[in-house]
Structure 1
């Protein structure tokens, strides 16, 4: 009887989770269906999660826009360079902070936590980047977010789980702190590093506000700014009407196609890192 009750309870939990999963998936499926639906179907509100009057002209027109490719390449460059800078600096700072013998460690950690609660503000940040002559450069998108305090704490806790005996053995063999970090700590911390890399990659890929504030050169606009201009400002270089003023495709369909194109890279990337995700977060959170 007890086993039967447990099975019924498990089925009920799976059913509830499945329903909630479908609810969260519905907006994405709706946008995907709109990107493949005709103008009449969208205007008449006949599109739910399945395309109506199937067409792919929206994607053909989007992929034929040179501004889309330029924005996409800027986002790829920002994400790749940003993750490398983020992880390099986070590892370099987490390693010494993981040492119990580090003098002033408590003060430094308090300063790190302080940055999670208080920030300088938008105007001081803008003036600082202006004085450093970083406006209208990719550095304005990379350097202000070089280290995340939350990710630093996770990686520091993970580094603390590495046995001291391994470090002592390496020092006896003549290894310095640089070799110990890159040849021992980093390989043993791949689950945490993969997880934090995903965190940083999603942050860079989805960011747009810093580009709006610090970048005035349209050639340096990332994909999210391209998407924001199209959806919020209705500003697009793609002609959706013909010479007579009739719509070739629905503007909503074009916007939906752009949204799908902007989230697709993260969807493709996630399965390769997902197996490290839970392990990396849990170990980094539990090891104090």
Structure 2
């Protein structure tokens, strides 16, 4: 028993030892790393906290402090009430939610089917199609050709223009394809021996094993659709169809937003800086709420899918 215990102890000690080429960190090094980490966290957290505090601060405090607040003297919801009661922000919020949900669903279905087809050996035209897809990744189309294509398809001033032109992302496609290629060939052969077709193999074997990469790619798509403002400016002329990020961009960059039809005089009567920060918080919180549920899939999904191309 003692020999077994000693062997386990020596194994544990061996595993805990640092490699021979790696020096033991000194106290100064540890302190420097801790300070660097604390500084990085502060650089990220402090501006976001200032945005939140400003959105809740009363108007007089913002006027006295030059438009910003580090801690509200009184926590008020006036900015959020005004932002959500004028109709424009609320409508834009629902537009962004709809585009994000529908666009992510379309993108995931298209990416999964295309990646599965390109991952299987012997597909007719598989290599030329893959090269064509990679070519679009290296040489993306310009703004004017993209607009002409969308215009020729009659999608200008429609919600389709907000997600159909970018429905398949090449990077996400390559990641999913690499993940599918990493699945053992024995599973595909066993499915064929059982008489399963390609669709049945995809839904019963491949997809259950690919939850991690699908979750990560789905989050990438959702964040992309939610944060996009440029396509709203480029393809939509009706401001009532604007998604939330386009409204936020117009309101923050234009200041008053009256030229864009994004606010009204009742809204401008409130503290404008608090209104801006409230819309920023409204536009940021949904993604922050979704991220913790997907975070645990990041390492497994991205690294495993990127090992094989």
TM-score scaled to structure 1, two decimals?
0.90
Task: Give the whole-Å Cα distance in 2 for the aligned partners of 1:39 and 1:65.
Answer: 18
Q: Tell me, yes or no, if structure 1 residue 237 matches structure 2 residue 278.
A: no
Show the 5 A alignment for 1:1-150: 5-6=24-25, 8=27, 9-10=29-30, 12-45=32-65, 47-150=68-171
Tell me, in whole angstroms, the C-alpha distance in 1 between the residues paired with 2:72 and 2:264.
Answer: 22
Say which of 219, 225, 232 aligns to 2:240: 219
Distance 2:154 2:179 in 1: 37
CA offsets 1:269-288 (integer angstroms, 9 cap, x no match): 11111111121111111234
Q: CA deviation at 1:181?
A: 1.1
1:196 aligns with 2:222: no
Corresponding position of 1:184: 205
SS at match of 1:228: helix
Moved more, 172-181 or 232-241: 232-241
1:153-168 correspondence to structure 2 within 5 Å: 153-168=174-189
Moved more, 188-197 or 90-99: 90-99
CA RMSD of aligned residues (A): 2.2
Partner-residue secondary structure (3-state), 2:287: helix
Cα distance in 2 between the residues matched to 1:18 and 1:178: 50
How far 1:204 moved relative to its partner? Answer: 0.2
Q: In structure 2, what is the Cα distance between the partners aligned to 1:282 and 1:177?
A: 26
Tell me the number of residue pairs that the alignment of Structure 1 and Structure 2 aligns: 282
> Could you state the TM-score of these two structures normalised by the residue count of structure 2?
0.85
- Structure 2, unpaired ranges of 5+: 1-16
Name the CA distance, whole Å, in 2 between partners of 1:10 and 1:276: 29
Distance in 1 separating the partners of 2:70 and 2:120: 53
Tell me which moved more, 83-92 or 169-178: 169-178
Q: Any unmatched runs of 5+ in structure 1?
A: 242-246
CA distance in 2, matches of 1:223, 1:95: 34
Between stretches 26-35 and 194-203, larger displacement belongs to 26-35
Distance in 2 (alpha carbons) for counterparts of 1:254 and 1:165: 58
1:135–1:214: 8 Å Cα contact kept in structure 2?
yes
2:58 and 2:270 mapped to 1: Cα distance? Answer: 7
